[in-house]
């Protein structure tokens, strides 16, 4: 338990100090992402021009802080590294590298588009499959379909099908968080709730090995989740509206990948639909918008603009109102997910 506190506290402090230092460095070099004025379908966009010049790449501070908290916590006796968690870290950094390249292109080209979206989609999907493949090939990860534990529903997918399933989860979650990252503090705040939930889930697996014995080194996973929670908390200090820095794709893709991998390694894959509920809604709004727009011959839209947070801005909600209300929805979704996990545990614990 002490290692969790160390990891989160160190990560929060490093993120708090590191993000401020990053603002100065990036701001002095003009490393900002241009603000989109009109989308490809010529739809009206919210008035965000006042954010022009705000530095991006803040995700570098989140990653550095999370790594610092995770590594320093292992100085404490009894906290050991697991090969599975190290693969998770490698996967997070791999997806973050793709996001960094995208951000760098945006900064250098002085425009809102980085890697062409189709190319970026293919690359992120390939990286996702590669991460899932390494997990199966090098660790003892359970390949059963899971909700709250490996035995529920417990359908064994086998290595190949599991890699395909896990790769899709990683790809979808990473991009869903990226879609959510459109308002100050929205993505980081909702991710914070998710990491807190996974800290509790992994720690509970540690304390109840008879029920969750298929989770590999749950304490190390709990420490990692706690480190990311602390890093998000420290970053939000500077990313809250009005944001002094944006996380960029390097941060959004990394956070989404981390959440997906924590779900996979704690055998709570299907529970991710609740823990990342706001991200599911945001990504779903984009899919629905595109479907309606194309089906109508590019004449009609379901929302004024997608992702959904921009729709509510155009309806007239102030940005801070959208952010806080979406945080509340995110918190409620996470609470439902945790409640499902606890309900199943209670049921299992009561069995003779």
Rounded average pLDDT over 70-82: 90
Write down the pLDDT at residue 41. Answer: 45
Rounded average pLDDT over 97-112: 86
Percent of the residues in the chain that have a pLDDT greater than 70, as a whole number: 93
Write down the pLDDT at residue 76. Answer: 82
Q: Which residue has the tokens 């899709």?
A: 168
Rounded average pLDDT over 7-33: 90
CB atoms near residue 134 (< 10 Å): 16
Least confident of 42-56, 98-112, 294-308, 324-338: 42-56
Q: Are 7 and 233 in contact (CB under 8 A)?
A: no
Q: How confident is the model over 331-342, as pLDDT tens digits?
A: 999 999 999 999
Write down the pLDDT at residue 109. Answer: 76
Cα dihedral sign, 226-62-85-151? positive
Structure tokens given for 71: 């590594």
Least confident of 107-111, 148-152, 154-158: 107-111
Spell out the residues 6+ positions from residue 58 whose beta carbon is closer than 8 angstroms to its own.
19, 22, 235, 238, 239, 245, 246, 247, 248, 251
Rounded average pLDDT over 132-161: 96
Q: Are 268 and 146 in contact (CB under 8 A)?
A: yes
Return d(Cα 151, Cα 155) in angstroms, integer. Answer: 8
Structure tokens given for 288: 């629905």
Which sequence spans correspond to the domains of the chain? 2-350
Q: Which DSSP symbol is given to 51? A: G
Q: Looking at the predicted structure, is the pLDDT value of residue 37 above 60?
A: no
Write down the pLDDT at residue 42. Answer: 46
Return d(Cα 178, Cα 259) in angstroms, integer. Answer: 12
pTM (two decimals): 0.94
Q: How confident is the model over 259-309, as pLDDT tens digits?
A: 999 999 999 999 999 999 999 999 999 999 999 999 898 889 999 998 999
Write down the pLDDT at residue 106. Answer: 85
Write down the pLDDT at residue 77. Answer: 76
Output the DSSP codes for 281-342.
HHHHHHHHHHHHHHHTTSS--SSSSSSHHHHHHHHT--HHHHHHHHHHHHHHHHHHHHHHHH
Q: How confident is the model over 219-253, as pLDDT tens digits?
A: 999 999 999 999 999 999 999 999 999 999 999 99
| Mean pLDDT, the chain, whole residue set | 92
pLDDT band for 40, please (50, 70, 90 cuts). very low
Write down the pLDDT at residue 33. Answer: 67
Structure-model confidence comparison of residues 5 and 31, the more confident one: 5
Structure tokens given for 282: 């945001």
Write down the pLDDT at residue 135. Answer: 97
Return d(Cα 304, Cα 285) in angstroms, integer. Answer: 11
């Amino acid at each position: 338990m002490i290692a969790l506190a160390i990891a989160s506290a160190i990560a929060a402090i490093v993120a708090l100090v590191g993000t401020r230092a990053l603002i100065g460095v990036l701001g002095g070099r003009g490393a900002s992402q241009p603000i989109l004025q009109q989308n490809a379908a010529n739809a009206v966009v919210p008035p965000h021009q006042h954010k022009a010049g705000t530095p991006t790449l803040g995700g570098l501070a989140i990653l550095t802080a999370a790594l610092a908290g995770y590594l320093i916590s292992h100085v404490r006796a009894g906290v050991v590294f697991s090969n599975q968690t190290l693969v998770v870290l490698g996967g997070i950094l791999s997806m973050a590298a793709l996001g960094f390249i995208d951000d760098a292109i945006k900064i250098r080209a002085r425009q809102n588009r980085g890697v062409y979206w189709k190319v970026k989609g293919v690359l992120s999907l390939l990286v996702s499959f590669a991460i899932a493949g390494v997990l199966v090939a090098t660790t003892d990860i359970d390949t059963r379909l899971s909700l709250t534990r490996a035995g529920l529903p417990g359908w064994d997918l086998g290595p190949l099908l599991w890699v395909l399933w896990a790769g899709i989860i990683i790809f979808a979650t990473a991009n869903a968080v990226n879609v959510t990252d459109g308002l100050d503090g929205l993505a980081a705040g909702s991710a914070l709730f998710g990491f807190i939930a996974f800290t509790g889930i992994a720690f509970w697996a540690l304390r109840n090995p008879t029920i969750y014995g298929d989770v590999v080194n749950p304490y190390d996973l709990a420490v990692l989740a706690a480190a990311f929670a602390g890093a998000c908390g420290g970053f939000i200090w500077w990313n809250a509206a009005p944001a002094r820095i944006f996380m960029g794709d390097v941060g959004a893709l990394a956070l989404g990948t981390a959440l997906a991998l924590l779900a996979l390694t704690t055998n709570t894959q299907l529970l991710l639909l609740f823990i990342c509920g706001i991200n599911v809604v945001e990504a779903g709004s984009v899919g629905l918008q595109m479907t309606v727009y194309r089906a109508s011959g590019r004449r009609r839209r379901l929302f004024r603009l997608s992702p959904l947070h921009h729709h509510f801005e155009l309806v007239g909600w102030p940005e801070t109102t959208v952010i806080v209300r979406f945080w509340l929805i995110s918190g409620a979704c996470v609470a439902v997910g945790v409640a499902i996990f606890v309900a199943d545990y209670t049921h299992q614990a009561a069995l003779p």
